[in-house]
Structure 1
């Protein structure tokens, strides 16, 4: 497993970044962004101390007047459970983070100067800004049970990261409780209360999420079942059909055109 340099903490975003591709495109005219599509904007005036980065899950029907840059966000939005877990709006003030402020200033400098490679630089800096917004959302947690609340939990996040990074491992509740450094009973109770489902239910849902991606890419059902951690293709097919209402072979036949 990949661990951060901070003892006791694990990288809660790494698996999502590896599995789901983050793509951000800065729009040329801020007021031309598409309502309904997730969007990230840089707004406010640094001189007035109200500069902020704002993410809206369903985009902006009306872009605020003080907006300086807008970028459209594609993080495999429909398939990515992290995107589904985000609140409708996340606003992060630049003054709360030296790194966020420095990145935003570099972003605005690129936007203003028109140097070679400007478009690529803007898009990549926007990706970094989005990752910082996601960090803020995870650190803040959530009032309601769900993935964000679990990732924000001081102990449970270790079990979630273990599931995300090694989905094919034959996890047991005891294993996951140990990864969270909790007793079995405390882990089960806390996981259900915080995440909103049992650890095994979450593990199964994550495996099926990954399996759908493999099948859409045209991977064989047996190989997908093995990579996703199911004991057999038959067990995988039953679980997949219960979850999605059709056999995995039906999705595989659609191939890459379904992506």
Structure 2
């Protein structure tokens, strides 16, 4: 806590110094990322990542098309198909159709892209594993850059970019099963309840409870797809009963979770 003393009347105000929170790890924990090199893109729903530069020279920028339906980028040195479960991953869905990052603006991205190009252009043992790991770092750095730049309209990206609201979002992402209420989330964001509720709707485009329910259901679908049982999943993502979970699941996805169990 710090104390600020200003003016002739010596006004004293206490401010809490909130710890930094990680806005990306929950997405990398929840969704699997795979990358593969391929000829010019096709419309298969996977994201496309282009390494752009002059022939024989270093990479100059990275272009990411999160939804994959695109024509080849001019001057692409390498094209990779990236599957980060875009149909289910809300962060990928929140990105604009084309994200461009200058690699020289981010030293870590420049070095990682150089290593990615070296692996892509040589047939060495462990090449596939190396490409996946390096591509994961590249995508992480692109997402970090997108969050830093923010968004022009309401949505998840705008919420993660907000200096206070992102704390409430991260709290929900990291502990979806917790019985979060509006007061808890406002406290996480360092705001009054009324200010938090109004600002969250304006910036994210929905209410905190609606966002939390959506996040829980997205995680639940991932678990069910992997063979988990409905009752266990309902409990793991914070629903009071399997019946309540099933009704919410049907409202969001249009089918019943029992079909997947």
Q: TM-score, normalised by structure 1?
A: 0.87
1:71 is aligned to 2:80: yes
Can you give the 5+ residue segments of structure 1 that lack an aligned partner in the other structure? 1-5, 253-259
1:46 CA drift (Å): 9.5
Aligned-residue CA RMSD (Å): 2.2
Aligned CA distance change for structure 1 residues 146 and 234 (closer, same or farther; 3 Å)? same
* 1:22 is the counterpart of 2:30: no
Give the distance between the partners of 2:223 and 2:124, measured in 1 at CA.
Answer: 40
In 2, Cα distance between equivalents of 1:184 and 1:73: 40
Give the count of matched residue pairs. Answer: 244
The residue aligned with 1:195 is 204
* Alignment-derived partner of residue 68 in structure 2: 59
| Aligned counterparts of 2:23 and 2:121: Cα–Cα separation in 1 | 34
Map Cα deviations across residues 14-39 of structure 1 (whole Å, 9 max, x no partner): 11101111111122x4x3x2235311
Unpaired runs of 5+ residues, structure 2, are: 1-16
Q: Distance in 2 between matches of 1:109 and 1:220?
A: 43
SS at match of 1:12: coil
Q: Over residues 174-220 of structure 1, what are the superposed CA-to-partner deviations in whole Å (9 max), with x where a residue is unaligned?
A: 00000111110111011000000000110111111111122222222
Q: Report SS of the residue matched to 1:88.
A: coil
Query: 1:26, 1:126 within 8 Å by CA — same for their partners in 2?
Result: no
Distance 1:218 1:104, change over 3 A: closer
Quick one: distance in 2 between partners of 1:185 and 1:161?
Answer: 20
Range 118-127 or range 42-51, more displaced = 42-51
CA distance in 2, matches of 1:48, 1:187: 49
Q: Which has the larger radius of gyration?
A: 2
In structure 2, the partner of 1:148 is 157
Tell me, in whole angstroms, the C-alpha distance in 1 between the residues paired with 2:114 and 2:22. Answer: 26
Q: Secondary structure at 1:204's aligned position in 2?
A: helix
Residue number in structure 2 paired with 1:209: 218
| More helix per residue | 1
- Is the Cα contact below 8 Å between 1:138 and 1:152 reproduced in 2? yes
CA contact (8 A) 2:31 2:89 kept: yes
**Match status 1:168 vs 2:172:** no
Conservation of the 8 A alpha-carbon contact between 2:59 and 2:113? no
2:125 is aligned with 1:116 = yes
2:23 counterpart residue number: 12
Q: Does 1:96 align with 2:109?
A: no
CA distance in structure 2 between the aligned counterparts of 1:94 and 1:177, rounded to whole angstroms: 37
